[in-house]
């Protein structure tokens, strides 16, 4: 009996010891936890607010706009300059800062000390939304050029055209450079002067931002242009270390000749064997296409070639004639002036500016009379077929197919978390029919 009581007593004592250890451990954890919570918060210093890389809180700042005929010395002379700074400004040479770069209407910012002297410490001149120069007066005078960070933002835009690509872009407050970039990509394949209501486009591109300001268009990642029921895809692909755009079949979008020698204008008169002349009031052939455009609009060579003529010739006015090969020659009439280095014998590249729209010679107003000759005979430039340059090489087809799949998927209706602008509903269903009839989502 005594033995049983002893065993029970030992058991109770053991349980008490275990309970005590648990309580001590718990109490220790609780005290440590409370101590941790009661410790004062660590003070984290806030990052200084920077403007052009300069801590704003340390200075008074003022902003302004350069007035007509102002130079930096005049602007900074309105503030309290450090001793000797004005003399340095006046004697600056062009290697340090070219005063000819100062333009009226550009912005500047001054940084002044926060004491009674309001001493000028920094003067920042903005050449553009990206480029700026800092005049640093804290140690004699240093002038340093900087560039702001440019951030690309991927965007997707789909739209139906009612009048022109340019008007569609502008009507929906998109960056006008998007229209120019698309026109460059499709310059050889899409007739922008033949756009009809209902033609449409879809494009995935990078828009470039400095802070919250759009400063241009970056890379076009994918595009599709629908004209007259036909689809023209633009797939970027690197071949022979050069990135160009190809269609879904691997043919280059580049052609031997551009579709038109200038951007975004209207056709005022077409190719005809019998046209009533607007001045002479007689019927005679008009073997060219007239593009109405303001004086000074750049005119491009439609292809590589050699300049045969760059002269002023009677009713044609100032003209340039280019031989592209043994078959084709092009002519550009009524120019206001010639492009740089355009003279007989000069070689030009496709897209090079060879002149500017004018109204010289026998002309009712500013326009370009554009003509093309095949084996010496005039042909309708709007009906000229231009062969593409080298397509994707057989050895690159596997790589091209992989890029094509990614590119066409980018043009598909995006997820909800993808930035998208739908100008109008366009591609309800995008499918690609392969060369042997197989189909699949694009």
What's the confidence (pLDDT) of residue 12?
A: 54
Tens of pLDDT, residue by residue, the chain (442 residues):
545 555 555 555 555 545 554 444 544 444 444 344 444 555 555 677 888 888 888 889 999 999 988 877 788 888 888 887 787 777 777 777 777 778 889 999 999 988 888 888 899 999 888 899 898 888 778 888 888 889 999 999 988 888 888 888 888 888 888 988 898 888 778 877 778 888 999 999 999 998 888 888 999 999 999 988 889 999 999 998 889 999 999 999 888 788 888 875 556 454 444 444 455 454 445 667 888 888 999 999 998 899 999 999 988 899 999 998 878 899 999 999 999 999 999 999 989 999 999 999 888 889 899 999 988 888 888 877 777 778 999 999 999 999 999 999 988 765 443 344 444 434 333 444 443 444 443 3
Name the class of domain 150-255+388-442: alpha beta
Return the pLDDT at 320.
96
| Domain 150-255+388-442 and domain 266-383 have a common topology | no
CATH number for the segment(s) 266-383:
2.70.70.10
* Ramachandran assignment for 74, one of left (phi > 0), alpha (psi -120 to 50 degrees), beta (any other): alpha
Both tokens assigned to 139: 């140690």
- Enumerate the domain spans of the chain: 50-147, 150-255+388-442, 266-383
> Which one, of 38, 36, 58, 61, lies nearest residue 48 by Cα?
58
The answer to pTM > 0.85 is no
Q: What is the pLDDT of residue 206?
A: 94
Architecture of the domain made up of 50-147: Roll (3.10)
Structure tokens at 215: 């400063």
Residue 132 burial (C-beta neighbours within 10 Å; 0-12, 13-18, 19+): buried
Q: Quick one: DSSP state of residue 181?
A: H
């Amino acid at each position: 009996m005594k033995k049983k009581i002893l065993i029970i007593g030992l058991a109770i004592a053991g349980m008490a010891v275990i309970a005590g250890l648990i309580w001590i451990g718990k109490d220790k954890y609780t005290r440590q936890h409370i101590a941790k919570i009661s410790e004062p918060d660590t003070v984290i210093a806030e990052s200084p607010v920077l403007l052009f890389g300069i801590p704003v809180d340390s200075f008074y700042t003022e902003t302004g706009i350069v007035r007509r005929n102002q130079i930096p010395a005049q602007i900074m002379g309105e503030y309290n300059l450090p001793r000797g700074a004005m003399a340095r400004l006046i004697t600056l040479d062009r290697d340090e800062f070219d005063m000819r770069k100062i333009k009226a209407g550009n912005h500047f910012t001054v940084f002044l000390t926060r004491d009674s002297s309001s001493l000028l410490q920094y003067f920042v001149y903005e050449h553009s939304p990206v480029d700026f120069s800092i005049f640093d007066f804290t140690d004699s005078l240093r002038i340093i050029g900087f560039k702001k960070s440019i951030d690309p933002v991927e965007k997707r835009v789909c739209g139906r055209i009612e009048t022109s690509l340019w008007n569609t872009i502008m009507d929906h407050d998109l960056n006008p450079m998007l229209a120019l970039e698309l026109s460059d990509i499709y310059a050889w394949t899409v007739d922008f002067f033949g756009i009809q209501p209902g033609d449409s486009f879809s494009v995935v591109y990078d828009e470039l931002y400095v802070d919250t300001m759009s400063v241009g268009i970056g890379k076009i990642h994918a595009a599709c242009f629908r004209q007259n029921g036909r689809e023209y895809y633009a797939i970027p692909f690197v071949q022979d270390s050069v990135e160009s755009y190809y269609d879904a079949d691997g043919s280059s979008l580049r052609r031997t000749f551009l579709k038109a020698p200038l951007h975004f204008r209207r056709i005022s008169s077409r190719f005809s064997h019998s046209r009533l002349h607007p001045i002479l009031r007689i019927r005679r052939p008009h073997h060219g296409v007239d593009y109405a455009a303001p004086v000074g609009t750049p005119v491009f060579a439609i292809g590589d070639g050699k300049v045969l003529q760059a002269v002023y010739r009677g009713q044609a006015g100032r003209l340039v004639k280019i031989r592209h090969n043994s078959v084709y020659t092009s002519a550009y009439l009524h120019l206001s002036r010639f492009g740089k280095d355009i003279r007989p014998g000069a070689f030009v590249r496709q897209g090079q500016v060879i002149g500017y729209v004018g109204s010289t010679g026998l002309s009712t107003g500013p326009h370009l009379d554009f003509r093309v000759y095949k084996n010496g005979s005039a042909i309708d430039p709007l009906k000229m077929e231009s062969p593409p340059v080298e397509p994707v090489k057989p050895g690159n087809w596997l790589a091209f197919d992989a890029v094509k799949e990614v590119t066409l998927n980018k043009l598909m209706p995006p997820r909800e978390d993808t930035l998208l602008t739908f100008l109008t509903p366009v591609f309800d269903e995008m499918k690609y029919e392969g060369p042997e009839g197989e189909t699949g989502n694009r």
